[in-house]
Amino acid sequence: MPYSDKVLEHYNNPRNVGSFDAKDETVGTGLVGAPECGDVMKLQIKVNPTTGVIEDARFKTFGCGSAIASSSLATEWLKGKTVDEALDIKNTQIVEELALPPVKVHCSVLAEDAIKAAIQNYQQKQDAVEAREPAAVG
Ligand code: FES
């Protein structure tokens, strides 16, 4: 089955490949796997804790072209969004943007799941920071 031009473009020029230090408290890491095919996606966000804005994003995907394109696109969409806005990114938007066929929809689900996992990881870290350093009063 031929890939769409947009999938091929991201596949050939993936944006934001790489990783951040997962121990950094301003970094959220999402690592998810697709049971359908065994592909694995790691997606990370780097957040400004004061503004809640995602300032940078990285991914590493061991998977098909659609999974690579979905995660590349996701990192582009994440940058500049607040964490709350990022939670609104839906796999259906990725399907539409990349013109994914039905058999490749799960690749976009992997990206949505990775975004949500990364945000959850970031928020858990921030909760731990707050528990350790209660906000200054006054
Ligand atoms: Fe499974 Fe694309 S075929 S993630």
Confidence at residue 136, expressed as pLDDT on a 0 to 100 scale: 65
Confidence at residue 52, expressed as pLDDT on a 0 to 100 scale: 95
Q: Which of 39, 43, 72 has most ligand 1 atoms within 8 Å of CB, for mutation?
A: 39
Architecture of domain 5-124: Alpha-Beta Complex (3.90)
Degrees, nearest 5: CA angle 92-94-106: 70
**In contact, 75 and 58? CB cutoff 8 Å:** yes
Q: Whose CA is nearest to atom 1 of ligand 1?
A: 37
Backbone angles phi, psi at 8, to 5 degrees: -65, -40
| Distance from Cα 8 to the centre of ligand 1, integer Å | 15
Confidence at residue 134, expressed as pLDDT on a 0 to 100 scale: 74
Report CA Rg, the chain: 16
Confidence at residue 137, expressed as pLDDT on a 0 to 100 scale: 61
Q: Which ligand 1 atom minimizes the distance to the CA of 64?
A: 2
Confidence at residue 68, expressed as pLDDT on a 0 to 100 scale: 97
Flag residues of the chain having pLDDT under 70. Answer: 1, 135-138
Confidence at residue 133, expressed as pLDDT on a 0 to 100 scale: 83
64 part of the active site: no
Q: Is the CB of 63 under 6 A from ligand 1?
A: yes
Confidence at residue 138, expressed as pLDDT on a 0 to 100 scale: 56
| Distance from Cα 34 to the centre of ligand 1, integer Å | 7
Q: Has the ipTM of the complex gone over 0.95? A: yes
User: Which of these is catalytic: 22, 37, 99, 128?
Assistant: 37
